[in-house]
Amino acid sequence: MSESKEIESHNPPASSLDAPRRGSIAATEKGRWERMWPVIACGAGLFSDGFLNNIIGPVNSMLKKIYPDAYKHSSAQANISSITFAGTVLGMLFFGYTSDHFSRKWSLLASTIIIILFAALGAGSYGAGGSPTGLLAALAAYRFFLGIGIGGEYPAGSVGCAESTGELKEGTRNKWFILFTNVQIDLAFFISAIVATVVVLITGEGHLRVAWRLCLGLGVIPPLSLLYLRIKLQEPEAFKRESLANAKTPWLLIIKFYWFRLSVVSIIWFIYDFSAYSFGIYATSILTNLLGPEAPLWKSLAWNILINFFYMPGCLAGAFVADMPSMGPKKTLAIGVVLQGIIGFIMAGCYPYLNKPENVAGFVVVYGVFLALGEFGPGDNIGLIASKTCATGIRGQYYGIAAAIGKIGAFSGSYALDSIQRAAGDDVIAAGRNPFFVASTLAFVAAGLVFLLPHIGQDTIDTEDVKFREYLAGHGYDTSKMGLGSVASVSEVNVKGTEKEPGV
């Protein structure tokens, strides 16, 4: 049935779960661009996350060449790589609360300004007395605060993007959400690899102090480009209707209703980020070891471009498959992680052959397929699932908690990968393949967990809001104060399919 026919239907609903088809957020009177640009403004900020997280891999390689002693006797590489994740976790939890209890728009604007400020400060880091230790400490501190800003992109930006896609044409909503969230992250991974290579080629390896600052400084451009759109942004229609900003939050009922679902989503996200971010950050280091210490830095960075390119076909394919009626987000995620696990075990078994300089092309291709499958499955769909398996009133906090646990996985993965490699000692083969054994095993665990999640359809945001309202009302909670007071909820629909006036 077409969207217009669904809106015009006058059949009396058998239950309030039918109401979203007539009173859904897709029924708002807006033009195509009015519906689309909030999706772009909210979601595309994750490009900053991808760029600023991935560029630190090449930057770490540069700093290691500039300050070999500081890196040799400390965990500077892991600290600078991982400290952003610690800030991101804090940002996700903080902005998850503010986006639900105050405003999606203003939470998003605040996170954007923090990213711009600390991306700039990080590029200009100077140590106390010019010492390498002081410089690395200053960079780590700025990266932490940068992470707080990046954290806001998830519970404010991605959540706003998901709610805005509910106003788009049915059958395209999952695709547009993915294209302006995970695809943005992966595109940023690819672009950051190109930027690092081009900057090093331009400056030369004799001027890496300029190169690493320039790489970080360019990270200011993406959030600046979205600032105007975000200033003009309005609250999503779903948030206007179902917000708990003006109502008492029923914490105990929320926990009873969502604790199991949130736990499953969080564990899957933990597993995905454990693999995706740790492998992404260390890709440059892996290639440097594979190519040998005598190889110029630009060569490992150039191979890194190809590795990051493989993210793109994976995430783009997943975006379209997730909207196929026969597939959907759950099946796409499960298929992606199962295939990734298989490829990971193959890589681990073949690592003695792949770990030879003459086979670097084969290593990059197989490794690239491993990464592409991760994006096709969990990369594209875990954020989509997190945004659509809970009600609008607590979506920011639900999403923020799940994403924060995911980032703890990324944080853990950065240290775990380093520890796994160190534990292998002088055994180069074990140091290279053991991380793939761990990642592949976890991928199969994630695949099993997917089937514990509910079905996710095109109108899940609407139906979930109605189910949640019915649950709250059934337990004595007064739902009349939900929403911002300017529009009716999806369940306030009469038998003719028209919305009641607020308060009626």
Q: Which residues form the domain of 209?
A: 22-481
pTM, whole model, 2 decimals?
Answer: 0.83
Residue with token string 């853990």:
412
pLDDT of 173 > 80? The answer is: yes
Question: What is the per-residue pLDDT across 261-285, written as a single tens digit (0 to 9) for each?
Answer: 999 999 999 998 888 766 665 566 6
pLDDT of 355 > 90? The answer is: no
Residue 279 belongs to domain with CATH number: 1.20.1250.20
Question: What is the per-residue pLDDT across 36-51, written as a single tens digit (0 to 9) for each?
Answer: 888 888 888 889 888 9
pLDDT of 496 > 50? The answer is: no
**Reported confidence tier of residue 435, pLDDT bands at 50, 70, 90:** confident
- Cα 195 to Cα 59, 191, 286, 304, 378: the distances in Å are 11, 6, 19, 11, 26
Cα radius of gyration rounded to whole Å, the chain:
23
Least trusted range by pLDDT, from 226-230, 270-274, 362-366, 388-392: 362-366
Question: What is the per-residue pLDDT across 105-123, written as a single tens digit (0 to 9) for each?
Answer: 999 999 999 999 999 998 8
| Higher pLDDT pick, 80 / 177 | 177
Q: Let me know if residue 228 belongs to a domain.
A: yes
Q: Let me know if residue 10 belongs to a domain.
A: no
DSSP alpha helix (H) spans, 180-250:
182-203, 208-217, 221-232, 237-242
Q: What's the confidence (pLDDT) of residue 487?
A: 53
- pLDDT averaged over every residue in the chain: 82
Q: What's the confidence (pLDDT) of residue 30?
A: 62
Q: What's the confidence (pLDDT) of residue 217?
A: 92
**Reported confidence tier of residue 181, pLDDT bands at 50, 70, 90:** very high
pLDDT of 361 > 70? The answer is: yes
- Is the sign of the CA dihedral 269, 285, 305, 440 positive or negative? negative
Pair 179, 191: CB distance under 8 Å? no
Q: Let me know if residue 340 belongs to a domain.
A: yes
**Reported confidence tier of residue 486, pLDDT bands at 50, 70, 90:** low
Q: What's the confidence (pLDDT) of residue 3?
A: 38
Question: What is the per-residue pLDDT across 367-420, written as a single tens digit (0 to 9) for each?
Answer: 888 889 989 999 999 999 999 999 999 999 999 999 999 988 887 887 787 788
Q: Let me know if residue 8 belongs to a domain.
A: no
Measured distance CA(78)–CA(76) in Å, rounded: 6
Q: Let me know if residue 388 belongs to a domain.
A: yes
Burial class (CB in 10 A: 0-12, 13-18, 19+), 286: buried
Least trusted range by pLDDT, from 55-59, 127-131, 315-319, 423-427: 127-131
Q: What's the confidence (pLDDT) of residue 14?
A: 35
Q: Let me know if residue 491 belongs to a domain.
A: no
Q: Let me know if residue 495 belongs to a domain.
A: no
Q: What's the confidence (pLDDT) of residue 12?
A: 36
Q: What's the confidence (pLDDT) of residue 44?
A: 83
Q: DSSP label at 426?
A: T
Pair 413, 397: CB distance under 8 Å? no
**Reported confidence tier of residue 21, pLDDT bands at 50, 70, 90:** very low
Question: What is the per-residue pLDDT across 205-219, written as a single tens digit (0 to 9) for each?
Answer: 889 999 999 999 999
**Reported confidence tier of residue 298, pLDDT bands at 50, 70, 90:** confident
**Reported confidence tier of residue 497, pLDDT bands at 50, 70, 90:** very low
Q: What's the confidence (pLDDT) of residue 260?
A: 95
Q: Let me know if residue 39 belongs to a domain.
A: yes
Measured distance CA(165)–CA(24) in Å, rounded: 12
The count of structural domains within the chain is 1
| Higher pLDDT pick, 16 / 129 | 129
